[in-house]
Amino acid sequence: GLVNFFIRHPKRHLIVPNPDVYFPYRNKTIRIGAGGTGVFISMVTDAFGVKIKPIYLGKPYAPVFHHNHLAMEKRYGRRIKHSRVIMLGDMLTGDIAGAHNYGYRSALFLTGVSTVDHVRMSDIKPDFIFEGF
């Protein structure tokens, strides 16, 4: 399938909509995310000798923030300073890191994806933390 496609066409782009390697599922289990699939394809093609570097569009990468920021400016008909935006999210590595990388402030909702313990152990620190909605 995809691995052989990229081996045959090494100049093609592997565009991954979301960098999450996994995501929480039912009963404290996980599922493999798009990012995990992208990493797998990259590892296998690399082992074969073909370098494929995934291009990530989702959080924490800038393209998704840039696209949405432009849409927000268009909606309100004016330029908006990045420092005036607060990103709300429930994942340190995607939402909060992405917000900070783009110059936004951040608020972490403790819904179970990231916890207070995750915040304590991480270099990524939200500007605000909320227990719930």
Q: Which tens digits make up the pLDDT trace of 52-106? A: 999 988 888 888 999 999 999 999 999 999 999 999 998 898 899 999 999 999 9
CA dihedral 33, 128, 73, 54 (to 10 degrees): -20
Angle at 53 between CA 55 and CA 90, to 5 degrees: 45
At 13, the amino acid letter reads H
Q: Which tens digits make up the pLDDT trace of 75-90? A: 999 999 999 999 999 8
Residue 108: pLDDT above 70?
yes
